Amino acid sequence: MGSNLTRRSVLTAASGVFGAAAVQQALQPLAELEKGFSLDELLQRHYKQLSREDMEAILRRLEKETLAEYGREVQIQDIRPIPEVQYGYALNLSLCIGCRKCVEACHKENNHDRQTYNSYIRVLEIEKGGIDLQDSSVTYDHQVPAKKKYYMPVQCHQCDNPPCVKACITKATWKEPDGIVVVDYNWCIGCRYCMSACPYEARRFNWTKPEIPAAEINPDQSYLTNRVRPVGVVEKCTFCAHRTREGRFPACLEACPTGSRVFGNLLDPESEVRWVLENKRVYILKSDLGTLPRFFYFFDE
Amino acid sequence: MGCMSSRSVFTVTATARCGVGGLGAAVNTMSSSCVALLALALGAAGCDGFADPSREYGAPVIGEATHGTLIESPQTLGVVDSPLVDVNGTPIGVECETCHGPNPATSWAATPGKPFHTGVGVTEGGVRFLNKHGHLRCDNCHTEDRLTVHLADGTHLSLGDTMRLCAQCHGPQSRDYQHGSHGGMDGFWDLRQGPRTRNNCVVCHAPHAPHFEPRLPAKGPQDWYLRPKPEFTEEGEAPDSEEATHG
């Protein structure tokens, strides 16, 4: 018995005990960092490295966290792209009246913070006769459409050559096979390099924890799109991928009373968006930057 | 699985995390705190491809576009504003059949001194009403009994088929509508997966006053940096300006 108790084994056991205590001590500030902080979240792998089982466990954990923090039962899915579909979006500047219904629909659909009235869409009110973005207004609050003004809703252009993806140092944002640029909110470290890289100012930052009353939370959620984001991460428009990957229209299109918005599959020659691109006068915002957007503006005659 | 980082600084991290089969395997060999802190400090290793290629796409959609498009088409005539108002001052709407139907309630039509078809942009009996739909007269669109409509060549149309009537003059709008770029819609972009609902012309455009009147927009963004900038004077910041804070 005594012979087993060597100096080596005592030291090993002692260092094990001390080590465990030290680790616990070291992790203590992390545990107190925020209520709801979990080690699972900390150890979670990159979205693309997760197996189906991992993803399933993460989704259930996120549902539980949403229930605990917001008091609402939600269904979070991981909806993957439909093969042989490339999304395109076109918007008729001649029809848009600047009513901000799309802004409102986005705000509700994507579980945005109620206090800042955040939305992925900004409608610019611009003087007719040019495209002067510098002097445009997004906070206009008078009857629309105003005389001598036109309206240009700007949201993520889902660029084929996305500067935001290049700027991301953690690879927390990437372009999906169907053309949608997404963010893994659990991988984003909130450096906001992507925001400064985006020429369309399409990305938003969660300065604070989003405040949404339980009754107003949209329970139809997906991991990469409209689940309630944590504080300190960047978020962006995904063309409502949780809807469009199920074949439905984006929320902003359904809200538009004028039919300015045309959405569809660019690979389908019969799609409405293809007809617009082939038959209308199409304008690409900041096309000189070479971002190759999937979002197009067009005009009537 | 090819794990590459576009930045050489992070190559080591990427290799370390992916090379041992990801973080899960690493947890077994290292103390979890070390991994956690490593992940926190260097958490920069995304992989270009999917570890599980079956996760890249969802299920393919097979089949033809079998679902249809339902067009909301009111089958009845609308309502016109009468000269009578309710307690709030809102004009009382009267259905066309009230006067033009088989048993007309003539007392409504004969309100003395006031034109009845308020808000209907037509010339009727030499009296000019609000000019909101060009110089059209009732007979241009309505049949003699005023209860149905007809095309310019006299073809009778059911009230659910009025889009053909509108298309006589509004060709470009009709063309755009048929190609899905005019008028709101709901439902599915992918008609293989579900149906779509659209409106016909008169759902949005009142036929007698088709122009959209200006309206107040929905609430705008309330970001702190979008608030009006404080005005600076020679003495400094204006006294009533609020300092911008994070919202």
Confidence of residue B130 (pLDDT cuts 50, 70, 90): low
Q: Does residue A143 belong to the interface with chain B, where contact is any CB pair within 8 Å?
A: yes
Contact between A259 and B173 (Cβ < 8 Å)? no
Burial (CB < 10 A; 0-12, 13-18, 19+), residue B155, is exposed
Q: Are B179 and A276 in contact (CB under 8 A)?
A: yes
What is the model's pLDDT at position B68? Answer: 87
How buried is B173 (Cβ within 10 angstroms: 0-12 exposed, 13-18 middle, 19+ buried)?
buried
CB < 8 Å from A in window 156-215 of B: 172, 176-177, 179-190, 192-194, 204, 212, 214-215
**A223 vs A78: CA distance, rounded Å:** 5
CA distances from A241 to A87, A237, A238, A245 (A): 10, 9, 5, 5
Structure tokens, A115? 């206090």
CATH number for position A133? 3.30.70.20
In degrees, to the nearest 5, what angle opens at C-alpha A257 toward C-alphas A254 and A258?
115
Residue B126 has pLDDT above 60, yes or no: no
Report CB contact under 8 Å: B219, A104: yes
Nearest to B23 among A19, A43, A119 (CB): A43
Give the per-residue SS3 of A164-228. HHHHCCCCCEEECCCCCEEECCCCCCCCCHHHHHCCCCCCEECCCCCCCCHHHCCCEEECCCCCC
Task: Supply the pLDDT for residue B116.
Answer: 63
Q: How far apart are CA B20 and CA A195, in angstroms?
A: 33
Task: Give me the residues of A, 64-103, that contact B with CB < 8 A.
Answer: 79-85, 90, 92, 95, 97-101, 103
Alpha carbons within 13 angstroms on the beta-carbon side of residue A273 total: 23
Strands B69-72 and B196-199, by their bridges, are parallel
- Chain A contact present for B64, CB below 8 A: no
Alpha-helix residue ranges (DSSP H) falling in chain A: 7-31, 39-43, 52-70, 101-109, 163-167, 193-197, 241-244, 251-255, 272-279
Contact A242, A222 (CB under 8 A): yes
Rounded Cα distance between A155 and B140, Å, is 44
Residue B1 has a pLDDT of 39
Cα angle for residues B50, B52, B57 (degrees, 5° grid): 70
Q: In the structure encoding, which two tokens stand for residue B70, read together?
A: 């339902």
pTM to 2 decimal places: 0.78
Give the dihedral sign, CA A15/A16/A22/A26.
Answer: positive
Q: How many domains does chain A have?
A: 1
- The chain B residue lying nearest A205, using CA atoms, is B223
CA distance B184 to A298: 17
Q: Which H/E stretch holds residue A89?
A: strand A87-92
- Report CB contact under 8 Å: A104, B218: yes
Q: What's the pLDDT score for residue B29?
A: 41
Alpha carbons B157 and A38: distance in angstroms, whole number: 66
Which phi and psi (to 5°) does residue A195 adopt?
-65, -40
Tell me whether 0.90 is exceeded by the ipTM.
no
pLDDT at A7: 82
Q: How far is CA A153 from the centre of its chain?
A: 17
Within 10 Å of residue B80's Cβ, how many Cβ atoms?
Answer: 20
Judged against a pLDDT cut of 60, whether residue B75 lies above it is answered with yes
Nearest-5° angle of CA A112, CA B187, CA A211?
10
**Torsion sign (Cα): A260, A263, A266, A269:** negative
**Any idea where the domains of chain B sit in the sequence?**
8-55, 75-204
Give me the residue from A43, A52, A80 closest to B36, CB to CB.
Answer: A43
- In this structure, are residues A110 and A120 in contact, taking their beta carbons and an 8 Å threshold? yes
Q: Are A103 and A119 in contact (CB under 8 A)?
A: yes
- Would an 8 Å CB–CB cutoff place B229 in contact with chain A? no
H or E element in which residue B186 lies: strand B185-187
CB A226 within 8 A of CB A180: no
Q: Is the pLDDT of residue B5 over 70?
A: no
Contact check, Cβ <8 Å, B31/A19: yes
Query: With an 8 Å Cβ cutoff, is A25 touching chain B?
Result: no
pLDDT value for A238: 96
Residue B72 has pLDDT above 50, yes or no: yes
Sign of the alpha-carbon torsion through A157, A159, A162, A163: negative
Helix axes B22-29, B11-19, angle to 10 degrees: 80
3-22 in chain B: CB under 8 A from chain A: 5-7, 10, 18, 22
CB proximity A16 to B under 8 Å:
no
- Distance from the Cα of B172 to chain A's closest Cα (Å) equals 9
pLDDT digits (tens, 9 = 90+) for B12-21: 333 333 433 3
B164-198 tens-digit pLDDT? 999 999 999 999 999 999 988 999 999 999 999 99
Tell whether A243 is covered by a domain: yes
**Which segments within B5-162 are labelled E, that is strand?**
69-72, 79-85, 91-95, 123-124, 127-128, 149-150, 156-157
β partners of residue B123: B128
Identify the DSSP state of B215: B
Mean pLDDT by 10 residues, chain A (301 residues): 70 78 73 64 90 94 94 95 96 95 96 93 94 90 93 97 96 95 96 96 94 95 95 96 96 95 95 96 95 96 77
Contact B184 A254 (CB under 8 A): yes
- pLDDT of B97 reads 73
Least confidently predicted of A44-53, B63-72, B114-123? B114-123
φ/ψ of residue A62, rounded to 5: -65, -40
